[in-house]
Structure 1
Amino acid sequence: MAAPGNLSVIFILSGIPELENNQNIIAFPLCLLYVIALLGNSTIFVIINREESLHQPMYLLLAMLAMTDIGVSLTTLPTVLGIFCLNYSKIDLDSCLTQMYFIHTFAAMESGVLVAMAVDRLIAIWDPLRYSSIVTNSVIAKIKLVIVLRGLCVVFPIPFLTRRFPFSKSHVLSHSYCLHQDVIRLASADTTINSIYGLVAVLMTKGFDSLFIIISYVMILKAVLSIKANEARLKAFNTCICHVCAVLLFYVPLIGLSVVHRFGKNASHLLPILMADVYLLVPPTINPIIYSIKTKKIRLKIIKVFTRNKTGTLDKGIAVLTT
C-alpha cells in the first residue's frame, strides 16, 4: 500500500552535475552508444535465431545475452535521452519504480547468463567428448527459463517495499535513471528492510554468480594448463576470451560502484555517477562488438547479411536502369 501523498511524488533525475544546463553536449555520444547497443545486439539476436547452424548451446546463450543487453538499453533509454537531449528530468513514482524493477531484473538476468556461459565453456573444455550429450538445446532452454524466473522473482518485492515509503525529503536522484539504493536514500522512514532485502537479492544473484564464475574459470585454467599441445591450449583459451571480456565489463564497474557506495564517503560525487553509467551503458555497447569480431561464425554471418543486402540493392538498381 502506498504511503499518503506518494501519488503526487515527482523525482528529479540528474545528468552530469558539472554540465548543469548544458547536458545536451554529450547527447550525440549517448545516442551513438544506444544505436550501437540496440543495432549490434539486435543483429546478433536475429542472426542466431534465423540461422539453424547457430542453434547450438553457446550461440543460444549469446542470443540471450544480447536480449538482456537490449532490455537494459531500452529501460534506461527514455530517461537518459530525456535528460541529455530534451533537458527533461522529471519522473513520477510509479514510472520510477517500474524502471527500477526492469533495470535490476535485466541486470540479474545478464549475471545469470554469464554464469551459464562460464559453465558451458567449462564443460566444453573439461569434457569435450561428452559436451554435446550434456549440454543440449533442451537443457539450455531450461537454464534460460530458470534465469528469467530468478530475475523476475528476486527483484519483484523491491518496488512494493519501496512504494510504501513517504518521500518528504529531497526528491533529487543521483543518476539519469532510478536505482533502488538511490531511491531509498530519499525515503523519510526506516529503510532497514529494503537495505537487508537488497543485499540478500544481490547475494542471491550477482554474489553467487560471481563465485560460480570464479570457480568455473579456476577449473578451466587448470584444464587448459594440463593440455600439452600449445596449439590446442591456445585454441581453448581463445574460446573463452569473449566471455572473459563480457564478465569484466559487467562485474568490474558493478564492484567498483558497490565499493564507492559503501566506503567512498569522501570520494567525488561524480565518481558513482560515472561508474553507474559505465555499468549500464558500456556492456550493451561493447559486447556485440567483441562477439562480432572474435566469434568467426557470427562475423561471417553478419558479413554475409550485409553483403547480400548490398548485392540485392545493386541488382535492383541495375534492373531499374535496364527497364
Structure 2
Amino acid sequence: MASINTSYLNPETVILIGIPGLEHVQFWIGFPFLAVCLVALLGNIVLLIIIPTEHSLHQPMYIFLAVLAATDIGLCAAIAPKMLAIFWFRSCSMAFDTCLTQLFFIHALQCMESGILLAMAFDRYVAICDPLRHTSILTSSILCRMIVIVAIRATVLVGLLPILIKRLHVFHSIVIAHSYCEHMAVVKLAAEDAQVNKACGLFVGFTILGFDMIFILISYILIFQAVFHLRQKEARLKAFNTCTAHIFVFLEFYILAFFSFFSHRFGHVAPPTHILLSTIYLLVPPALNPIVYGVKNKVIRKRVAQIFLLSHISHQ
C-alpha cells in the first residue's frame, strides 16, 4: 500500500476497530450480539417456513412480512460474521472492495426494510379504510410490482454510495472507528473533498427513509380517522388491534434509524454510544419483528408451537 505524507493512496485494505473505547470488553459484548442474531435468524426462518405453507396467511400483510423476514436475515448475515470476528478474534482487516460491498448490502437492506414497512402501512390503510376493495386493489401482480419497486429503488440509490466512494483516491487513514462499514464512517476517512459523497448520503437517506416515514405517518393519520368514525367500540378496538404490531415495528425502526443517521452527521454523541446504538438499531429490529408479529397472530403462534412440539417429540 502506498503511503504519501501519512496519506493513503488507493488503499487495498481497511481496519475496523469495532467499538472505540470499549476494545477491552468487546469480547464479552459479542455474546449478547450473538444471542440477538440467533433470535433474529431463528424467528425469521420460522416465519419463512410458516407463511408459504399456511394458506390462511397468503394475504398481502403476511407476504410483506415474509419479504421483511428475508430482508432481516440478509441484514444479520451482512453484519454479524465480521463484527463477531472483530470482537472475538481481532480479525480487523478487510479488503477495501469487500468493505464497500458490505456497505452496499447493509444500507440497501435497510432501505428495503423501510420500503416494506411503507407497503405494510398501505395494506393496513386499504384494509381499514376501503375493506371491500382490499383484495381487488392488492392483487398478486400489484404485490409483486411493489416488492420489485422497493428492491430496485434501494439497489439504484444505495448503489450510488460505493460508486462515489471509488472516485476518492487519497485517504488520511484506513482505520474505521466502527464495527461494520458504514457510509459516513468510510467517507470521513477521505483526504479529498467529499462533499458530493455527504450530499448523496443525505439525499438517499431523505429520499428513502424520509419519504417512507412521511407516507407511513399519513397512512396512519387516515387510518385513525377512519377508526374513530366507527360507531361500535368493539369494531374500533378490532381495527386498531390489527395495526399495533406494525406501529411498534415502525416506531422502533425509524426512531433508531434517524438517531443513527443524524448523530453521525450533526450530533456530538460519544463514539462508543453511537456505534453501540447504530449496531443495536440494525440487529434488534430483525430479532423483534418475528416476535411482535408472531405474538399478535394466532395462526403463527399455533404453527410455531406445532414446529417445536414435533421437534421435541422427534428427539425423544
TM-score (normalizing by structure 1): 0.91
Which residue of structure 2 lines up, in the alignment, with residue 179 of structure 1? 182
Moved more, 133-142 or 94-103: 133-142
5 Å-filtered alignment, 1:25-64, equals: 25-64=28-67
Give the AA of the match of 1:89.
C
Report the alpha carbon displacement of residue 313 of structure 1 after superposing the two structures with TM: 4.4
Identity of aligned residues (%): 42
Structure-2 separation of matches of 1:6 and 1:72: 31
Structure-2 separation of matches of 1:106 and 1:179: 13
Which residue of structure 1 lines up, in the alignment, with residue 236 of structure 2? 233
Give the AA of the match of 2:198.
S
Structure-2 separation of matches of 1:219 and 1:203: 23
Structure-2 separation of matches of 1:27 and 1:111: 27
Residue among 211, 216, 241 paired with 2:214 = 211
Give the AA of the match of 2:210.
G
Give the AA of the match of 1:278.
I
5 Å-filtered alignment, 1:1-323, equals: 8-265=11-268, 267-314=269-316
Structure-1 separation of matches of 2:271 and 2:312: 48
> Helix, strand or coil: the match of 2:155?
helix
Structure-2 separation of matches of 1:170 and 1:62: 41
Structure-1 separation of matches of 2:265 and 2:171: 24
Moved more, 112-121 or 48-57: 48-57
> Helix, strand or coil: the match of 1:187?
coil
> Helix, strand or coil: the match of 2:278?
helix
Could you list the per-position Cα deviations for residues 45-97 of structure 1 after superposition, in whole angstroms to 9, with x for gaps in the alignment?
12112223322111100001101111111000122111112121111210100
Report the alpha carbon displacement of residue 312 of structure 1 after superposing the two structures with TM: 4.3
Report the alpha carbon displacement of residue 281 of structure 1 after superposing the two structures with TM: 1.2
Structure-1 separation of matches of 2:16 and 2:216: 34
> Helix, strand or coil: the match of 2:94?
strand
Could you list the per-position Cα deviations for residues 142-168 of structure 1 after superposition, in whole angstroms to 9, with x for gaps in the alignment?
111111111111111211110221243
Which residue of structure 2 lines up, in the alignment, with residue 319 of structure 1? none
Report the alpha carbon displacement of residue 307 of structure 1 after superposing the two structures with TM: 1.9
Q: Is the 8 A contact 1:253 1:276 kept in 2?
A: yes
Structure-2 separation of matches of 1:176 and 1:61: 30
> Helix, strand or coil: the match of 1:88?
coil
Cα root mean square deviation, aligned = 1.7
Q: Is the 8 A contact 1:161 1:194 kept in 2?
A: yes
Structure-1 separation of matches of 2:191 and 2:169: 6
Structure 2 unaligned blocks of 5 or more: none
Moved more, 210-219 or 9-18: 9-18
Structure-2 separation of matches of 1:193 and 1:75: 26
Q: Is the 8 A contact 1:9 1:167 kept in 2?
A: no
Give the AA of the match of 2:304.
I
Report the alpha carbon displacement of residue 121 of structure 1 after superposing the two structures with TM: 0.3
Moved more, 20-29 or 6-15: 6-15
TM-score (normalizing by structure 2): 0.93
Structure 1 unaligned blocks of 5 or more: 315-323
Q: Is the 8 A contact 1:23 1:87 kept in 2?
A: no
> Helix, strand or coil: the match of 2:176?
coil
> Helix, strand or coil: the match of 2:191?
coil
Report the alpha carbon displacement of residue 21 of structure 1 after superposing the two structures with TM: 3.4
